[in-house]
Chains A and B, each alone.
Chain A
Amino acid sequence: MVEAVLGRVRGRRPWFETPGERRAFVLVWGGLAALAVWFFFFGPRARYDYNWRWSVVWQYRHFLLRGVGTTLYIFAWSLGFSLVLGIFCGIGRTSGVRWVRALSTGYVEVFRNIPLLVQMWWAYFGLQQVLNVVLNDPFGLRVLIPSTFACILALSLYTGAYMGEVVRSGIRSIARGQWEAATSTGLSQAQTWRHVVLPQALVIVIPPLASEVLNIIKNSAVAMTIAITDLMFFSQKIEEETFAGFEAYTAGTLLFLLLTLLTVGAIYLLQRLLGLKVRTAG
């Protein structure tokens, strides 16, 4: 794979075509690098004597690992729910039935136009109050919603709305003639969806859907604000315990990057296993 990538990079045009370009490269990037080095070691920053303690990252590795575990747990559940929601919503938005279309359009517009943070807090705090009013405090107890549930609910609804739009565009890209052909061979509407339209549409939308899948991981960081002990939460926890904020958050950021890269790899493998031509979004 490394060879393939290198070959592709080499196979394109050479990095520099004229000595002038090489000079420009050295001047621009070398200048920027020199400026950064000067700034970091001799410039205004050097006045501030920051005590680097990268060892805390290793010291608190069990925190980070637990955070990765929770993030993956939320990711897995939200992925499943939002995929189902997205597929049904995409079908609903292309449906000929008026109220189904209105319902799915309303769902998409509402959940895409409210910040995830607000949705999550609504699902955690607002829903709790609603439940307690509706149930009228059963046995004099207050009903508590587990924050994991609120988080997965909000994340699935939010991502499902975006996935619905992706699936809809995939379904739209299937030519009308295919519907007519399927109907003329005697397939029912449900059979047409199952055997003709969806298998093609869902393959077409894999690249944009993949980027929404990655967005689940990134957006799950917001769950930290409702006390989900995910990677983001534990990065903050390390900062609180050691005051090595820079190191802790950098480690957290790199782990998030690693998670998204691994997911990209998994989707790549999935496309290869399905025997598809590998494409990426954007």
Chain B
Amino acid sequence: MDSFWKWSVIPDNAGFFAGGFKLTLTIFVVAWVGCWAFAVVFGAMRHSERPWLRYPAAAVVEVIRGTPGLMFVVWVYFLSQPLIGYALSPFWAAVWALVIHQGAYGAEVVRAGLSSVPRGQLAAGYSTGLGYAGVMGWIVLPQALRNMAPAIVNRSVALFKNTSLAFVIGVIEFFRAGTIVNGRENASFAVFTFLAAVYFVCCFSLSRLGHRLGQRPGVIEDTTAV
């Protein structure tokens, strides 16, 4: 039986898989930082009371959220040359696409977190003479972050799952490493079960963390299938 299922392809190609997994982790970490930078800027803009900040930000976020992630990855890859005159490498195209796409979802998390703090607290903060940065940094953010924590973790799980989309533009990350091994060894059951198991272990442990942070009333969860 073992010869048919070909479980041996996993240890045989362990080094190749490890290389792919390292690249997946790199994409994840780099995109995570960018994603939350994007999310904070656009989330704060959408939270603003000023219509001229709120509506343009809302338009950007909603348009991005209405687009498939896969389309976005390919689009950024092909768009880079005609639009900025410089062809992004597949790695950076994938990172930028994930930053913008997941950042738009993250912006909704940030907005929900900021909105979870009553407006009266902002007014009280301003009335004590604090500026925007002071009110945000000392009053709103500490409370918002507590409510947002599970949502941030869940969004990170989504980002980790979406790093597999980089596969379509030729980045040899974990999933593409798997398809390459499968193409050579023709052991689809073993390879894809292994891929699924590794992704599951990573995402499940992360989401358990989010679950543990989210056992209070009033938290924002943000579990959506993207």
Contacts and interface: CB of A to CB of B under 8 A. Distances in A.
Whether A associates with B in a native complex is yes
B82 interface: yes
Contacts of A224: 70, 168
A46 B188 contact: no
Interface stretch (B121-129, B130-138, B200-208): B200-208
A235 interface: yes
Nearest to A225: B168
B105 to A, nearest CB: 10
Contacts of A121: 179, 188, 192, 195
Interface in B151-197: 157, 161-162, 164-165, 167-168, 175, 179, 182, 187-189, 191-193, 195-196
B188 A48 contact: no
Nearest to A119: B196
Contacts of B165: 117, 222
B15 interface: no
Contacts of A250: 75
Interface in A204-220: 211-212, 214-220
Given A48-B82, A121-B192, A221-B68, 12 more contacts: A47-B85, A112-B203, A114-B200, A125-B182, A125-B188, A215-B224, A217-B68, A222-B70, A253-B75, A257-B63, A257-B67, A260-B66
Interface of A: 9, 12-16, 21, 25, 29, 39-40, 43-48, 50, 52, 109-110, 112-119, 121-122, 125-126, 128-130, 133, 158-159, 162, 165, 211-212, 214-222, 224-225, 232, 235-236, 239, 245-246, 249-250, 252-253, 256-257, 260-261, 282
Decide if the interface of chain A is mainly helix, strand, loop or mixed. helix
B71 interface: yes
Interface of B: 4-5, 49-52, 56, 63, 66-72, 74-75, 78-79, 81-86, 108, 112, 157, 161-162, 164-165, 167-168, 175, 179, 182, 187-189, 191-193, 195-196, 199-200, 203-204, 207, 223-226
B10 to A, nearest CB: 14
B67 A218 contact: yes
A48 B85 contact: yes
A240 B157 CA distance: 33
Contacts of B164: 115, 117-118
29 contacts: A21-B50, A46-B85, A48-B86, A52-B82, A112-B225, A113-B199, A113-B204, A114-B200, A118-B192, A118-B196, A121-B195, A122-B192, A122-B193, A122-B196, A125-B182, A125-B189, A128-B188, A130-B189, A133-B5, A162-B223, A215-B225, A221-B70, A222-B165, A239-B78, A249-B74, A249-B75, A249-B78, A253-B75, A256-B71
